[in-house]
Amino acid sequence: MIKVLENKLTSAQKDAFSIQEDSSKKDSEIWSLKSELMNIKSKLDSKISELECLKSEDISVPVVGGDSEKNISKSNNISAVLQSNDTYLSSETSKNLSQNLHTEKL
């Protein structure tokens, strides 16, 4: 009887150690993903600033021999690029997170 209980205790300790290792690996993956997300966000913010700057330059520079309608269409084109970029990154981030954050049954 004691031998059976000792075996069960040893098995439970091994399981607990394995679960703890898995948890540490998951924590490491989570921190890595958070770091990657921060890098992506930083790059995105930089691109948005760059596009906003270009947008304001395009709006402030009059088209020679043209009308303001051409400037408005340029502004709308840049806005469309910003919106599509934001939508793409949002969906890509969701896909990446959903792939890595699924739960495993023990």
Assigned token pair, 70: 């051409």
pTM (global) more than 0.95: no
Interatomic CA distance for residues 71 and 62, integer angstroms: 7
Domain that residue 41 falls in: 2-59+67-88
Residue 99, domain member (yes or no) = no
* CA contacts within 13 A on the Cβ side of 98: 6
Query: 12-46 pLDDT, tens per residue?
Result: 999 999 999 999 999 999 999 999 999 999 999 99
Task: Establish if 6 belongs to a structural domain.
Answer: yes
Q: How many structural domains comprise the chain? A: 1
Per-residue pLDDT, 59: 72
Highest mean pLDDT among 6-15, 59-68, 81-90: 6-15
Return the higher-pLDDT residue of 85 and 49.
49
Residues whose CB is less than 8 angstroms from the CB of residue 62 and which lie 6 or more positions away in sequence, other chains included:
68, 71
Q: How are the residues of the chain apportioned to helix, strand and coil, as percentages rounded to the nearest 5?
A: 85, 0, 15
Residue 61: pLDDT above 70? no
Name the residue with higher pLDDT: 6 or 66: 6
Task: Tell me, yes or no, whether 98 lies in a domain.
Answer: no
Looking at per-residue pLDDT, the higher value among 66 and 28 belongs to 28
For residue 84, being part of any structural domain is answered with yes
